[in-house]
Copies of this chain bind each other. A is one copy, B any other.
């Protein structure tokens, strides 16, 4: 589901301290012969066949092809020897009965409707069974109003509007895609009093400004529209009617009107071909420089009554089945330790890139693991593969499954490994920092299809070359690690794909990996042109990177499943937490300093003097100065965590190889659920579903991760009481984590 516009960013944590090098733990050596046998069963040709079939018709939630793909996936798993079944949930899934968007004044122009066929792309020729362009979980309505351009529609944009004296109350906003998660745009518009919201794809961001448009190139053509979900996933993902519990038959369901995650105003997405017709008519102040996109017009903000728009959406709000395919290979030694791995299968339309590029890679893994099983291999732990449905609408399939199986997962889940769209380019990885070394070692073992060096080496080369070209680079911690030849840090997880319920709600450590950065899937993201033709022409010809992804994730599964000793490194976890704490302290200090400067400048009238009287921009809003935050308890906790982690890693390195099986088993149990200690059952402020205090998707970023979110977002949002409360709470969970590491160390040391 997630669109990675800057692929490599996924790999790199946005943190500033140098990676602490963990002692080399005496972990199980990878079984290279088994991995070679695994690789032998991975085939790009297989993936082409599966992708071509599954992408041959629209296969969104509730569609016949969606059901057929579930059955086909089930059949494949069974054929390969897995214990597989379809597990179905009934979720609220709105589909449009009618969508209307038209300019009323200065002239009547009807806009919107289904995307047209594109030459060279056979599946685009028949869109009769495709969902029309719309955004799911907007609020149905029929409104007419004055149009205002709000740039990306993010909080900063509304602050800029306020300084120009422009209000969106009672108006319809038009926002461009980008700058933050789609769903925040109508939500913030609604919060600011707007009555409707249009979201369009600007050609600067993914159209001709990025490259030749489809079908000549891979970039977004003028009539392509990005569908998507606008479910308020900052509150919780999954079925809006069953928050926190599985949407099983007979589950207690909310009334739709009571569902917190459904928006109240109508919203529709739009192509840039259509958007130009509206934006070209706007008058009023010229948009600030950073707001200007790639259309051949002067971008104005509007809001002066010149352009009136009629926007109406009417949906069928039906309970619809989502079909997850769940397949298992039982563990021979530790059947109650589950290694869970998933990729969604549902698409907005044909979804060759999103999600079938990742789903096909997962099928290759399943086939290869099945082959190993046939050859007599028995995994030590249980392997659970999941082909999720309903991801696009709000991580429905994975969330309902995780909620329905919450107790079992708490007791059994070791890790959750996720993939989604995949393409040509560089390996990226995000996830729980204790798995950082595993990611690094696996990426060093898989060959990049284009260059013949390891994925790790290519990624490091790219990171350093890009930093050189940019004269710096944006991620000092990663660059320093690359220059030192140390493990590269991995990014923290936000949201945007199926790991959310696992990591944020249940505390199951998770990883999200994929290749990308040289593909052009962004140009057709969530449009009818995300097709087999586009995928195999512009994104991963021959699906070479599909096979590479299978090899990466397959190694992760094998190494975790069969590990005798922990593959995790807690020094890396402690280093990451230390870096996040450093960032949050810097944030608080910078905010305070900036608040002080703002006060001084306002007192001196500097903003007034700087403003062009003919194009006036008012001073920023008056805000309370950021106070000093009580960081001591959190600093204490992070310090303790560092010590405990370092001591544990050292003990494991010194004595791990000589541990007897009973202690190994005890250690495995002690560490399996350690990340669940990061949860606070009360959750984050205003969103109790999110319980992990180490990371969360940002309330105002949507996909982007916020680390130490209870503290960080409280500072950002000026909830200073919350900030002080959450330094304490976060300190508590990190201290518990450290205490568990001490226990585990005692096991290693034979105490």
Contacts and interface: CB of A to CB of B under 8 A. Distances in A.
A8 to B, nearest CB: 10
A146 to B, nearest CB: 20
A610 interface: yes
B457 A298 contact: no
Contacts of A425: 612
Q: Which 9 A-B pairs have the closest CB atoms?
A: A461-B609, A465-B610, A461-B606, A462-B610, A296-B296, A465-B606, A208-B298, A518-B612, A458-B609
Given A209-B292, A211-B298, A609-B462, A598 B468 contact: yes
A119 interface: no
A68 interface: no
A464 interface: yes
A347 to B, nearest CB: 26
A513 to B, nearest CB: 19
A87 to B, nearest CB: 41
Contacts of A606: 460-462, 464-465, 468
A258 interface: no
13 contacts: A209-B298, A210-B298, A217-B286, A295-B296, A424-B612, A451-B613, A453-B605, A458-B609, A461-B609, A461-B610, A465-B601, A465-B607, A518-B614
Contacts of A518: 612, 614-615
A330 interface: no
B212 A298 contact: yes
A294 interface: yes
Interface of A: 203, 208-213, 217, 219, 286, 292, 294-298, 424-425, 450-451, 453, 457-458, 460-462, 464-466, 468, 471, 518, 594, 597-598, 601, 604-610, 612-615
A517 B518 CA distance: 40
A208 B286 CA distance: 10
Given A451-B613, A612-B518, A614-B518, A605 B298 contact: no
Nearest to A590: B471
Nearest to A217: B298
A575 to B, nearest CB: 25
A615 to B, nearest CB: 8
Contacts of A610: 461-462, 464-466
Contacts of A464: 601, 604, 606, 610
Contacts of A613: 450-451
A184 B597 CA distance: 42
Contact of A219 (B212, B298, B607, B612): B298
Given A462-B609, A608-B461, A203 B468 contact: no
